[in-house]
Structure 1
């Protein structure tokens, strides 16, 4: 009998890829939920409504809930802290309790921004020290889901992938920066590790496959792309792939951020790779797929 899986935030950048990948596994029966962007393919679910969440869990009977729903933009979190805390922490805590009560295992999507970026690479048991409200909210979310020992968290860095519009990700959004031809200085200080949501979806599929075979997952895991680059260097990569001129761009080695950013939060992903879990495509291959729909 297939295992039931619920993906929250399934209309978002990460959730769409996770939902699509897992739905291809015949051992899984996968449902996606969303709120403002719910449609005929997704269950409408307000994660702030505990009764609605309880009803959904009773109806769907998931063995696993992959919690992709979050406020993931640091500046937006700071602009609306109460709303962001409600979704990233309070709704997460309620969902975790209800999953535990029904026997479902919760996989919580977290961030590399739980670290301050001063001592990379970061192992899963290194002490967090978030610099901004977004990182603090995601760390608080980790702590509430890990209290029971029944759930686990997956920390991820800067994400990109198949997007509905270029600005849905800060990575593919660089395509518009290149196409605009307006002179612009881009951050050449913070070192990021762009990671494809398609690869994250594949990693989660491999993890669930191992779980079905008896592997026990608990605590914290990391996943990350392998290519280090600043925002400026990333723009140059995209320009090369797209055949676009980048001479109007310049490196900014002392950028001013609305919210503090860590310089380098490289994640040590060996806890997963030691299980034989692997990605397969290079950053350039992943970027090419992500920007191709916007180059026609």
Structure 2
């Protein structure tokens, strides 16, 4: 049994990781500030890790073998509006967690994003130079750098996730699904490409990477570069809904505050070679997403996070 500490345990990635790590037999310490989690057999800690000294106190008390740092400010437009909070959470807090992990001899995985790139080139490898074009990407790139400065053996995972979420917000897949099931038209960007991975598929790979003591920067994303429009169409088909309700639209018509990269697809050959495992394609990921719904994953997440209502815009 490995002791695993997960920060941001009430978020989409964190909460799914908690459930999957418990199912795999790990001892899990779940840390969150705004969305504490509760479950039999789970050690829950409510703490503001952005407070100086908080990470050191918690890790010294629990001494985990692994730390997966999911906590972050992830709303791209909110980061643009409030850069101070973005850098405090995405850079400064990450550095404090890395310092604390190194102090107790814990391996660390830090979750980053495809938004560290400008989206001009696409199909980015780990060797390509990051060039963020919004505050969110800048703060996450700074977070990567400070984590590696404080914990040189840390694992940095750049990704782009979707999945079931217990909190009153929706991943892109949930947003498409809710509108499609209501018979409502939903715009899908035809000029924004990405390589989405189901949060549970990412979690499985994260645990494998920690077990293998992998370190450095890795891209762990889906195996296809598709537009957000095509993603919505494929989701409709997987759930037996009307794909014609997904309407093609340009990013320029999206009324977004922060600039977004257009081609943010990630190449994952490095992790594929290391794990001997191909990244899941879009169809396989969406089929897994649908299977999790049938298995009651959304309800399990809401129970874990004690959330009474579900849904709402991202």
What is the TM-score of this pair, normalised by structure 2? 0.83
Gaps of 5+ in 2: 299-314
What is the Cα deviation at residue 184 of structure 1? Answer: 4.6
Pairing 1:136-155 to 2, within 5 Å after superposition: 136-147=138-149, 148-155=151-158
Task: Please name the residue that 1:220 is paired with.
Answer: 217
Gaps of 5+ in 1: 212-216
Distance 1:15 1:254, change over 3 A: closer
From 251, 255, 268, give the equivalent of 2:252. Answer: 255
Aligned residues: 286
| Residue deviations 1:203-228 (CA, integer Å, cap 9, x gap) | 012112223xxxxx222011111133
CA distance in 1, matches of 2:55, 2:111: 18
From 57, 60, 63, give the equivalent of 1:58. Answer: 60
CA distance in 2, matches of 1:72, 1:62: 25
What is the Cα deviation at residue 89 of structure 1? Answer: 0.8
CA RMSD of aligned residues (A): 2.2
CA distance in 2, matches of 1:267, 1:131: 17
Task: Please name the residue that 1:214 is paired with.
Answer: none
- For the pair 1:244 / 2:241, whether they are aligned, the reply is yes
Mean CA deviation greater in 43-52 or 64-73:
43-52
Task: Please name the residue that 1:29 is paired with.
Answer: 27
| Residue deviations 1:245-295 (CA, integer Å, cap 9, x gap) | 24344211353432111111221212211123425671331232355568x
Q: Given that residues 188 and 231 in structure 1 are in contact (C-alpha distance below 8 angstroms), is that contact kept between their aligned partners in structure 2?
A: yes
CA distance in 1, matches of 2:148, 2:273: 22
Q: Given that residues 160 and 290 in structure 1 are in contact (C-alpha distance below 8 angstroms), is that contact kept between their aligned partners in structure 2?
A: no
CA distance in 2, matches of 1:20, 1:164: 12
Distance 1:231 1:81, change over 3 A: same
CA distance in 2, matches of 1:208, 1:272: 12
CA distance in 1, matches of 2:167, 2:179: 13
Secondary structure of the structure 1 residue equivalent to 2:172 = coil
Which runs of at least 4 in structure 1 moved beyond 4 Å after TM superposition?
290-294
Q: Given that residues 145 and 152 in structure 1 are in contact (C-alpha distance below 8 angstroms), is that contact kept between their aligned partners in structure 2?
A: no
CA distance in 2, matches of 1:55, 1:254: 44
Distance 1:166 1:86, change over 3 A: closer
